[in-house]
Amino acid sequence: MIAKIAILGASGYTGAELVRLIATHPNMRITALSADRKAGQMMAEVFPFLRHLDLPVLQKIEDIDFSNVDLAFCALPHGTTQAVIAALPPFLRVVDLSADFRLRDPTEYAKWYGQPHMQPALQAEAVYGLTEFYRDPIRKARLVAGTGCNAAAGQYALRPLISAGVIDLDSILIDLKAGVSGAGRSAKENLLHAELSGGTHTYSAGGKHRHLGEFDQEFSALAGRPVQVQFTPHLLPMNRGILATTYVQGDPATIHRTLFDAYAPEPFIEVLPFGTLPSTRDIAGSNFCHIGVIGDRIAGRAVVVSVLDNLTKGSSGQALQNANLMLGFDEVAGLMLAPLFP
Amino acid sequence: MIAKIAILGASGYTGAELVRLIATHPNMRITALSADRKAGQMMAEVFPFLRHLDLPVLQKIEDIDFSNVDLAFCALPHGTTQAVIAALPPFLRVVDLSADFRLRDPTEYAKWYGQPHMQPALQAEAVYGLTEFYRDPIRKARLVAGTGCNAAAGQYALRPLISAGVIDLDSILIDLKAGVSGAGRSAKENLLHAELSGGTHTYSAGGKHRHLGEFDQEFSALAGRPVQVQFTPHLLPMNRGILATTYVQGDPATIHRTLFDAYAPEPFIEVLPFGTLPSTRDIAGSNFCHIGVIGDRIAGRAVVVSVLDNLTKGSSGQALQNANLMLGFDEVAGLMLAPLFP
Amino acid sequence: MIAKIAILGASGYTGAELVRLIATHPNMRITALSADRKAGQMMAEVFPFLRHLDLPVLQKIEDIDFSNVDLAFCALPHGTTQAVIAALPPFLRVVDLSADFRLRDPTEYAKWYGQPHMQPALQAEAVYGLTEFYRDPIRKARLVAGTGCNAAAGQYALRPLISAGVIDLDSILIDLKAGVSGAGRSAKENLLHAELSGGTHTYSAGGKHRHLGEFDQEFSALAGRPVQVQFTPHLLPMNRGILATTYVQGDPATIHRTLFDAYAPEPFIEVLPFGTLPSTRDIAGSNFCHIGVIGDRIAGRAVVVSVLDNLTKGSSGQALQNANLMLGFDEVAGLMLAPLFP
Amino acid sequence: MIAKIAILGASGYTGAELVRLIATHPNMRITALSADRKAGQMMAEVFPFLRHLDLPVLQKIEDIDFSNVDLAFCALPHGTTQAVIAALPPFLRVVDLSADFRLRDPTEYAKWYGQPHMQPALQAEAVYGLTEFYRDPIRKARLVAGTGCNAAAGQYALRPLISAGVIDLDSILIDLKAGVSGAGRSAKENLLHAELSGGTHTYSAGGKHRHLGEFDQEFSALAGRPVQVQFTPHLLPMNRGILATTYVQGDPATIHRTLFDAYAPEPFIEVLPFGTLPSTRDIAGSNFCHIGVIGDRIAGRAVVVSVLDNLTKGSSGQALQNANLMLGFDEVAGLMLAPLFP
């Protein structure tokens, strides 16, 4: 079977990444691409690296014939997505890559995003898209809400540990290093090459980053009581990749074994040997997540380092993995591309 | 059919690139990997980005059982390759990525590489591996000599123009910009990140770069008389990619049409619309070559810009394309991966 | 004596570079900084790297008290500069860093900049600011027009050769590699880190780059007859630096000696030994220009490679050098800072 | 007065950085440069960015006439330095940039560096070179031991807080991001551009980094009881700069005020307004250290972020600042260069 795919918001990095991945997917064909301000253009004009592909012309969303679509990826900006998805045909399967349906509690949404949620009924229907932990609901879902890329990196390090009760819940600290493509393709002075290359700085520090809403929701649900983590993201002069250095209190060997066992059956999550820590270079361009654990010289403390590509496992690859489940395809179809190194 | 593949010299960048590409090839399986100094190690130790693959342990070449190999890629250093290939079983198909068999005339080899050729009989057997122009001989070859990566970039820009007689042969000038992975993985002070990032310089300028031997051989053969081009390579702070800016005298529109027509049937060579010039970012990690043509304000002068990834279309991708032909597979098998951007 | 300095347009890279250089200048004090849209802000908010300096608050130009200013640097966008300088007090010394007064012939200005020149009388007064070749007129000038950064890099390679008549005038070709800070600080998609890092492409190719107007004007004047060069700029993933690879026909040794002799007395222009070519890394952050010459294997052809920092010797350093002359200071005052490496 | 300066180990990055800084120092003149394996070469061959300077030829240490030297900077590798300094004339002032004399307790040296200390008497004489905290002993010292660059970044964030007793001593955690020049100029595969650019990873994690010896020594001395911090360094694709993200427990406003007051008189340490965090880009190439403080959403937790240039304030700039004190010069002489941005 070949599923017909629409990508809404194809002129951004996550939209282009979806096209890149679907290009070698055996069971998917792209039948519609939207980009409101660039409607009428060819994808090859907007992203010349995709010029070898035979793709539909960019359209406005309202001009798409959704009767010819089995599943839509929605890669639109936060905030505007709710109305767009509400206006789609109610039968259409949707994988959303925005933040609009990640937080189950509309109050939390309003707190972190600064505006009330306008589609609480749709929110109630949405399944949180961290594939390895929501596989069954995702298989049956009509609407899946992709996770934040930083939120994914942190959760892969921590969820099995919280579930297993092997770490202290009140001293979790995530120091995260993120590449710049996570900030998107919009023209901003602070994202210029001349501003970013050759240096680093924090952003949204002090507990203000919105992905904390996801951490709070997920970790508290797992623990059965409120859990708050400390989280400081840094922007690095690299295009792809996230490295999350997660500091926890617990027995390092137990922590490693817990992660190793939890992810043993997973096709995309690799837990390295104890004491070996990963590099973002080894997962760039792929759907893999590498995780390493080391004990500190201070007894009872461990460092868990997780890396993933923000555009792949952190967003578009995750979205495709979820779509595979929703459409009954092999979960790894189109996703076994090796990383690109050097 | 599944062909059994050996990669000799798997601990360098071109060896690893071969593994990356073959990982999703439908008709090839890697049965042997060699790396003399790292024999006994797992590929995942030498290249952690390949750790998701089930690969044979690294061996010394002399320990490989070649009865279990249909084709060997030889990704060894220049100079040492001749003896290695001479010692391989005589029935074994070989795609060599070194410079050892590129120059048909041993005198030219001695001139450019500073030592006599030790295997002139093997040299006589070798087919030059620029796929699009040697397809039939490659199909029948036992030994194919991969081209220089810079030599490929320049030839894609120029061969159809020389063949068609639409440019002046005595004023060809190639100003080339190359990424650093072309220099390999050996530890040298001048390849350190601190030395290279954020700047540029020429190398092997003044007509000293060895790929000139290939230009001389191929262009003279095409023209039926000696042709010498001027060639200045520059090293750029980027890991992958070559951009060759080729200056020619002739009618720009004719030049564009000649290239467009010549490459129309080619799956990997894309000639852009007249006046549009390519970027290395749009082919990184892929087997594509993009070519653009523009006329200068000075009448009768044109600029041809060609880009390719030195590790893919410039070496390992080319090698795989040639191996596909030698083994009777679809020429593009394993090679339709989209570039990685950003 | 301490000269009182105003910098108009202090929120761009060339404005900030002027502040950086003047910070250690023994004879200058900054008494006014303008940035229309950021008026009222501190320089440390706009450029935190300057926060250790005691600087005036940013103002609108119309709020500056020019009775307290001896010389103004004008680092404003092309096109708007003419009106601004026309409105300044007529006694005020001005060093302009825009393109508005570089072309002596208003027809040429209209041709390259697409709009008529509005201040032809001021243009008649302006002295072209390539210090080493206009030293005496600059000393007496009220208005100096800074050169294009690319135009400077090309002229340093070529002027002595044209003057001495040692190269063919009809086959000059400049292939230039430029860092991204030359494109300024305005937020544009094509200048984002994610778009630029790790790759390269041409821009304004085919004889369309505006600095050709300067080449035409200057080289034709030197030669006493029309001279047109071919010029192809490339954008590189580096913040600072220009490398111009200039291809000429003539005797390489004569070319080297001509350049060596011409620049022997110059404090900022270093001609390397014959056969040695320079790197942009060796002049970054400084007012130095390094020039190297090599002969090609094809007799009668030479390659001249010149490097300079586009923000220093290519604009703000040049401007300061000119201001030193206009104010009677030591020409090198404030400009002997060593490059920054690595 | 002009002091005569020798730099031992001038072919590494810290040696070259010393030359760069001393080039504009009003009271110092370099009279000897050593580089054993490059003896006989000109500095311009080893570091072309310094070619505008008139410098002595590189010598072997044993060939230097130390009667013509007032102070020697010793920028040699760890381990070999002890014997070299022991063999210098006993009257000679020495600023050492290696790790050999940083740890007052030879047992600690043996523990962190894996070999016994061979010059315990010299060690007893050495003063730890963190200028702002050892000013008076440095003024009188003959031998000053420069600090580790990471050790400096962490101590600037923490020393005033430990002294003032405003943070919990048992939960200090430093997550550090370092540029690659800190790893030196030796040719190693893992420092190649192709290996490092575009990614990040940890190094010496788990409490194994040698600068922990300095943290233990200094923080325990300040606190009057053993203090152990947790410390995880990361390597970033940038040449210069360290950003230390230090996590502490205490009142954020008090922490900020404590740092602000402590550093108010310091010429090189800038504490940013509360809630503003620094970037490495704003100190690159300079002797400045910027420090910012923010409170976390979790009450009682604060993040202190300190940035400095590892080659300047982290080693050679610090060394020069100490030399100024030892020679009775203005402490900031030669060190007020503005950072280089972009």
**Distance separating alpha carbons of residues B156 and A220, to the nearest angstrom:** 59
Average confidence score pLDDT of chain A: 97
Q: How far is A169 from chain B (nearest CA, A)?
A: 32
Instruction: Give the amino acid at D10.
Output: A
Q: Which residues of D touch B193 (CB under 8 A)?
A: 180, 191-193, 195-197, 237, 239
CATH 3.40.50.720 domain locations along chain A:
3-147+313-326
Residue B121 in contact with partner chain D when CB distance is under 8 A: no
Which pLDDT band, with edges at 50, 70 and 90, does C79 fall under?
confident
Check whether A79 has a pLDDT greater than 90. no
Task: Please state which CATH number belongs to domain A3-147+313-326.
Answer: 3.40.50.720
DSSP states along B144-195: EEPPPHHHHHHHHHHHHHHHHT-S-TTS-EEEEEE-GGGG-SS--GGGBHHH
Provide φ and ψ at B236, rounded to 5°.
Answer: -115, 155
Residue C1, pLDDT score:
85
> What are the Cα distances from residue C134, in Å, to C141, C147, C270, D191?
10, 12, 19, 46
- D337 to C337: CB separation less than 8 angstroms, yes or no: yes
Q: CA gyration radius for chain A?
A: 19
Provide φ and ψ at C326, rounded to 5°.
Answer: -65, -30
Interface test with B, best of C111, C175, C195, C310 (most B CBs within 10 A): C175
For residue range B112-139, what is the model confidence (pLDDT) as tens digits?
999 999 999 999 999 999 999 999 999 9
Q: Which residues of C touch A195 (CB under 8 A)?
A: 185, 193
CATH 3.40.50.720 domain locations along chain D:
3-146+313-326
Q: Which residues of C touch D239 (CB under 8 A)?
A: 342
Structure tokens at C20: 């950086």
Residue A274 in contact with partner chain D when CB distance is under 8 A: no
**Distance separating alpha carbons of residues D145 and D280, to the nearest angstrom:** 25
Residue A198 in contact with partner chain C when CB distance is under 8 A: yes
**Distance separating alpha carbons of residues B206 and B213, to the nearest angstrom:** 14
**Distance separating alpha carbons of residues B313 and B97, to the nearest angstrom:** 12
**Distance separating alpha carbons of residues B142 and B226, to the nearest angstrom:** 29
Residue C284, pLDDT score:
98
CA angle (D259 as vertex; D258, D264 as ends), nearest 5: 105
**Distance separating alpha carbons of residues B59 and B64, to the nearest angstrom:** 7
Q: How far is C286 from chain A (nearest CA, A)?
A: 17
Q: Which residues of C touch B197 (CB under 8 A)?
A: 238, 342
**Distance separating alpha carbons of residues A243 and A179, to the nearest angstrom:** 9
Structure tokens at D87: 């063999």
Interface test with B, best of D192, D202, D236, D238 (most B CBs within 10 A): D192
Q: How far is C342 from chain B (nearest CA, A)?
A: 6
CATH 3.30.360.10 domain locations along chain B:
149-309
Q: What's the length of chain C?
A: 342
> What are the Cα distances from residue C278, in Å, to B265, C180, C275, C303, D255?
43, 19, 10, 12, 49
Q: What is the mean pLDDT of residues C84-91?
A: 96
Residue C252, pLDDT score:
98
- D198 to B237: CB separation less than 8 angstroms, yes or no: no
Residue C63, pLDDT score:
97
**Distance separating alpha carbons of residues D184 and D188, to the nearest angstrom:** 10
Q: How far is D96 from chain A (nearest CA, A)?
A: 28
Q: Which residues of B touch D238 (CB under 8 A)?
A: 197
Share of chain B above pLDDT 70, in %: 100
- A239 to C185: CB separation less than 8 angstroms, yes or no: no
- C188 to A186: CB separation less than 8 angstroms, yes or no: no
For residue range C216-275, what is the model confidence (pLDDT) as tens digits?
999 999 999 999 999 999 999 999 999 999 999 999 999 999 999 999 999 999 999 999
**Distance separating alpha carbons of residues B245 and B263, to the nearest angstrom:** 18
Residue D313's contacts (CB-CB under 8 Å, 6 or more residues apart) are D152, D268, D283, D286, D287, D288, D289
Residue D165's contacts (CB-CB under 8 Å, 6 or more residues apart) are none
Tell me which chain D residue has its CA closest to the CA of residue B239.
D194
The residues pairing with C269 across neighbouring beta strands, listed in sequence order, are: C289
Known active-site residue D289? no
Give the DSSP letter of residue D23.
T
Check whether A126 has a pLDDT greater than 90. yes
**Distance separating alpha carbons of residues C280 and C13, to the nearest angstrom:** 18
Residue C272's contacts (CB-CB under 8 Å, 6 or more residues apart) are C278, C290, C291, C292
**Distance separating alpha carbons of residues C288 and C135, to the nearest angstrom:** 17
Residue D181 in contact with partner chain B when CB distance is under 8 A: yes
Report how many Cβ contacts below 8 Å link chain A to chain D. 143
Residue A189 in contact with partner chain C when CB distance is under 8 A: yes
Check whether B79 has a pLDDT greater than 90. no
Residue B13 in contact with partner chain A when CB distance is under 8 A: yes
Q: Which residues of C touch A13 (CB under 8 A)?
A: 194
> What are the Cα distances from residue C29, in Å, to C1, C36, D341?
10, 21, 21
Residue D183 in contact with partner chain C when CB distance is under 8 A: no
CA angle (D120 as vertex; D114, D123 as ends), nearest 5: 95
For residue range D28-57, what is the model confidence (pLDDT) as tens digits?
999 999 999 999 999 999 999 999 999 999
Residue B340 in contact with partner chain D when CB distance is under 8 A: no
CATH 3.40.50.720 domain locations along chain B:
3-145+313-327
Cβ of A315: how many Cβ atoms within 10 Å?
A: 27
Give the DSSP letter of residue C68.
G
Q: What is the mean pLDDT of residues B62-90?
A: 96
Interface test with D, best of C19, C51, C240, C312 (most D CBs within 10 A): C51
Q: Which of the residues in chain D have pLDDT under 50?
A: none
Chain mean position to CA D49: 22
Q: How far is C107 from chain B (nearest CA, A)?
A: 18
**Distance separating alpha carbons of residues D100 and D210, to the nearest angstrom:** 11
CB contact at 8 A, C282 and C339: yes
Q: What is the mean pLDDT of residues B101-118?
A: 97
3.40.50.720, 3.60.150.10, 3.30.70.2190, 1.10.10.10: CATH of D3-146+313-326: 3.40.50.720
Chain mean position to CA D125: 19
Tell me which chain A residue has its CA closest to the CA of residue B288.
A52
> What are the Cα distances from residue B170, in Å, to B227, B249, D20?
7, 9, 46
Give the DSSP letter of residue D74.
E
Three-class secondary structure of residue D118 per DSSP: coil
Cβ of A273: how many Cβ atoms within 10 Å?
A: 9
For residue range D193-202, what is the model confidence (pLDDT) as tens digits?
999 999 999 9
CB interface of A with D, residues 71-110, below 8 Å: none
For residue range D232-247, what is the model confidence (pLDDT) as tens digits?
999 999 999 999 999 9
For residue range C269-312, what is the model confidence (pLDDT) as tens digits?
999 999 999 999 999 999 999 999 999 999 999 999 999 999 99
CB contact at 8 A, A280 and A307: yes
**Distance separating alpha carbons of residues C108 and C79, to the nearest angstrom:** 14
Selected residue with higher pLDDT from A79 and C66 = C66
- Class of B3-145+313-327 per CATH? alpha beta
**Distance separating alpha carbons of residues D302 and D294, to the nearest angstrom:** 6
- A228 to D303: CB separation less than 8 angstroms, yes or no: no
Q: What is the mean pLDDT of residues B17-44?
A: 97
DSSP states along B36-65: GGGTTS-HHHH-GGGTTS--PPEE-GGG--
B49, B270, B340 member nearest A282 (Cβ):
B49
Between the CA atoms of A73, A75, A76 and A77, what dihedral angle is there, to the nearest 10 degrees? 140
Check whether A1 has a pLDDT greater than 90. no
Tell me which chain D residue has its CA closest to the CA of residue A235.
D279
Interface test with C, best of A17, A41, A192, A235 (most C CBs within 10 A): A192
Residue C181 in contact with partner chain A when CB distance is under 8 A: yes
Tell me which chain B residue has its CA closest to the CA of residue A197.
B198
Q: What is the mean pLDDT of residues C111-127?
A: 97
- B247 to C230: CB separation less than 8 angstroms, yes or no: yes
Interface test with C, best of B201, B242, B245, B310 (most C CBs within 10 A): B201
The residues pairing with B293 across neighbouring beta strands, listed in sequence order, are: B304
Check whether B1 has a pLDDT greater than 90. no
CB interface of D with A, residues 213-272, below 8 Å: 228, 230, 232, 234, 236-241, 243, 245, 247
Q: Which residues of A touch C196 (CB under 8 A)?
A: 193
Residue A187 in contact with partner chain C when CB distance is under 8 A: yes
Report how many Cβ contacts below 8 Å link chain A to chain C. 62
Residue A177 in contact with partner chain D when CB distance is under 8 A: yes
Residue D342 in contact with partner chain B when CB distance is under 8 A: no
Q: How far is C191 from chain A (nearest CA, A)?
A: 6
Q: What is the mean pLDDT of residues A104-116?
A: 96
Q: What is the mean pLDDT of residues A200-222?
A: 98
C48, C279, C338 member nearest D23 (Cβ):
C338
Structure tokens at A268: 């995309």
- D288 to C52: CB separation less than 8 angstroms, yes or no: yes
CA-closest candidate to residue D291, choices D250, D240, D255: D255
Task: Please state which CATH number belongs to domain B149-309.
Answer: 3.30.360.10
Q: Which residue has the tokens 């997973």?
A: A266
DSSP states along A214-281: HHHHHHHHHHTS----EEEEEE-S-SS-EEEEEEEES-HHHHHHHHHHHHTT-SSEEEPPTT---BGG
**Distance separating alpha carbons of residues A287 and A152, to the nearest angstrom:** 12
Residue C106: cis peptide before it, omega within 30 degrees of 0: no
Residue C52 in contact with partner chain D when CB distance is under 8 A: yes
